[in-house]
Amino acid sequence: MRAAWCGFRSPLAGDIERYLGAKRAMGCKFASEDRTLRLLDRYLVEHRVLSLGEVTGACLEQFLASRGRVNARGFNHLLGVVRRLLDWMVDQQVLVESPLQLGPRREGVRRQPFLFDTDAIRRLLAAAALLPDNARAPMRGPAYETIFALLAGLGLRIGEVARLQCGDVDLEREALQIRDTKFGKSRLVPFGPKLSARLRVYLGLRERQGMPCRGAAPLFSWNGRHPVSTNTIRNTFRDDLLPQLALAVPAGVFGPHVHGLRHSFAVRTLLNWYRQGIAPATRLNHLSTFLGHVNPTSTAVYLTITSELFEQANRRFEAFAPAARAEMQP
């Protein structure tokens, strides 16, 4: 096993550190980019690239090839991280132009995420509620029922739910304080009476078990001190719950996974707006804020992941078109 690569040591070291510092000052964690740029830095050191002038297009393409990214999406992510660093260096006048001219790989037909319908979510919560306790995990059923209710009902990220503290739950205002998000920003997420009732029941059970229910105590914890891990939630979903649901997966669709609950929430919200006669594009900023996206373009992708959205749009157009044509006739 290779030792961890501490610090930056290549000819790009100072520029990488300044680049990451500038991005983090804007509120971005940049953890994935940090890992990728450490790989690049290590590659340059191990291949004895000693000066900025030796960081050529061929050198960078060899680095990209060395990572063995066969999948177009993975390769393009790696390429994008390196390219954005070099473009920043051009903006900072460190480079006259980027040495990396390689274009992205073309993706094949992109598979869509599995979307959970209302019945699948209902059955998921029912199965979660019946999970038996074990020696290390008391109140396992109520905890997982509440965890998956929050994931499905509010579209939260799995890490956001895992890190919730008891003090983040405001039952009076019916809102959750989401801290330490993917992009380092906090937000307030409102919830309705059904989730409010679930949270009251769950907190009441915790209190009767003698577990801490206030302040910084983890909302979901088996020992009252450490929050449940995201991997534990994923493994429980995959190994204990998913086999019970027997979900039919359409062709061209990824198999069900926990993050699909977030996708499903976003698409369901957009569909509801369509059904109410509201153009989703006019509300993307609202959904983007609710989901904790920094850029609404991240939210706009949900407009393309289900054909039902387009079917709804077509029906609205067909209803509108005759009247529009009549108005246009002399």
Provide Rg for the chain, Cα atoms.
Answer: 24
Q: Judge whether 182 counts as a catalytic residue.
A: yes
262 catalytic per annotation: yes
One of 83, 157, 163, 263 is an active-site residue; which one? 157
**Beta-strand pair 169-170/175-178:** antiparallel
CA–CA separation, 284 vs 303, rounded Å? 10
The active-site residue out of 18, 238, 259, 316 is 259
Active site residue 263: no
Q: For the chain, what percentages of helix, strand and coil (3-state, to nearest 5) are there?
A: 55, 5, 40
Dihedral of the alpha carbons of 147, 150, 153, 154, in degrees to the nearest 10: -150
Residue 259: active-site member: yes
Active-site annotation holds for 302? yes
> Which of these is catalytic: 43, 202, 274, 302?
302
Cα-to-chain-centroid distance, residue 251: 23
Nearest of 295, 305, 234, 238 to residue 266 by alpha carbon: 305
How far, in whole angstroms, is CA 185 from its chain's centroid?
A: 14
Residue 188, phi then psi, degrees to nearest 5: -105, 125
First to last CA, the chain: 78
> Which position among 67, 77, 182, 286 bears the catalytic label?
182
Q: Which of 262, 263, 268, 274 is catalytic?
A: 262
23 is a catalytic site residue: no
Active site amino acids: 157, 182, 259, 262, 293, 302
